[in-house]
Amino acid sequence: MRYPTLAAGLLGATMAQADTPVLTVYTYDSFVSDWGPGPAVEAAFEEICGCDLQFVASGDGAALLARIRLEGARTRADVVLGLDTNLTAAAAETGLFAQHGLEDRDFDLPVAWEDDMFLPYDWGYFAFVYDKTRLDEVPTSFEALAALPDDVKIVIEDPRSSTPGLGLLLWVKAAYGDRAAEIWQGLAPHILTVTKGWSEAYGMFLEGEADMVLSYTTSPAYHLIAEGDDSKAAAGFNEGHYMQIEVAGQIAHSDQPALARQFLDFMLSDAFQSVIPTTNWMYPAVTPAGGLPDGFDTLITPDTALIYPAGEAARVRDTALAEWRDALSQ
């Protein structure tokens, strides 16, 4: 007799849940962490949607795309949040994404946004972060960095395993084009090591292993706002800084298309955008009414924003990788 009761109980529970529609959002791991934007975003959206918002996390942006590709049309995802513009061309090629239909939006981005499939939710500039109390001469360009004494060391991330690493690769390529290989050769003596991902590199920098680390112009804001420490700064480079724009898209076969669209719309609202600066430590794609948090005004603002359009990034990255590998393997 126990089994029918149990089955009925389970069935009842499932039916009770079925009353509340579930919106599944795939994202990268640090977004859903207790210290990321995830918890606040979930609470705010569930207040207005009458739904159950469920985040599913997968490594970083590249791992996220790999997961979507593996799952294909059977994916449970309704929305994918956390790809960047270097990945969107490959994401669009999967044919899994729908057009967002939210055309007339204004973004506070340094570049124009024209993509009918993906919508940006935050952005940042890659930059080398240093400790003001330790570095005597702050380089103002890649060439100036290369010209510094060899004992000035930087830690970078591997482009094959991390999105910031890939960003640096494209930064050098966008700034120097055919001279990229030469620039890498100049940088080579300064590269202490190359790490798997951002966390390892940033950890090594904070431990004092290197003078500079490839991170974001917004990194010093964390130390200032969360730790009251103003010793960290980002070096402004004359050739401009490469941008990372993080985007989200709606899955075409989603069984909750209306909710998914509502989520994308919500993503650009104040409730979502105001959480971004002090949880994801990036610039919001739409500046909230209250403006940016105190401390963001101390950050450097590059004169030139460098970025490859989605298709172009995919086209140059293999050449750039080969140049990088050859220069650093010598």
Q: Which residues bind other proteins (CB under 8 A)?
A: 29-30, 32-36, 38, 54-59, 62-63, 65-67, 69-71, 74, 76, 90, 153, 158-161, 166, 188, 191-196, 198-200, 202-204, 206-210, 219, 222-223, 226, 279, 281, 321, 324-325, 328-329
Question: Quick one: 28 or 237, whose CB is closer to other proteins?
Answer: 28
Question: Quick one: 107 or 266, whose CB is closer to other proteins?
Answer: 266
Pairing verdict, β 241-251 and 305-306: parallel
**Tokens 């005597």, located at residue:** 136
CA end-to-end span of the chain: 74
The CA distances from residue 204 to 129, 177, 232, in Å, are: 12, 30, 14
Question: Quick one: 54 or 238, whose CB is closer to other proteins?
Answer: 54
Least separation, in Å, of the C-beta of 20 and other proteins?
17
Least separation, in Å, of the C-beta of 79 and other proteins?
15
Least separation, in Å, of the C-beta of 292 and other proteins?
18
Least separation, in Å, of the C-beta of 113 and other proteins?
26
Specify the 3-state DSSP secondary structure of 131: strand
Beta bridge partners of 118: 249
Question: Quick one: 63 or 109, whose CB is closer to other proteins?
Answer: 63
Is the CB of residue 52 less than 8 Å from the CB of residue 78? no
Question: Quick one: 63 or 111, whose CB is closer to other proteins?
Answer: 63
Question: Quick one: 193 or 262, whose CB is closer to other proteins?
Answer: 193
Least separation, in Å, of the C-beta of 15 and other proteins?
18
Burial class of 209 by CB neighbour count within 10 A (0 to 12, 13 to 18, 19+)? middle
Question: Quick one: 105 or 160, whose CB is closer to other proteins?
Answer: 160
Least separation, in Å, of the C-beta of 52 and other proteins?
12
Beta bridge partners of 155: 193, 213
- Work out the number of other CB atoms within 10 angstroms of the CB of residue 228: 8
- C-alpha triplet 309, 166, 177: angle, nearest 5°: 60
Least separation, in Å, of the C-beta of 61 and other proteins?
10
Specify the 3-state DSSP secondary structure of 159: coil
Q: What number of residues does the chain have? A: 330
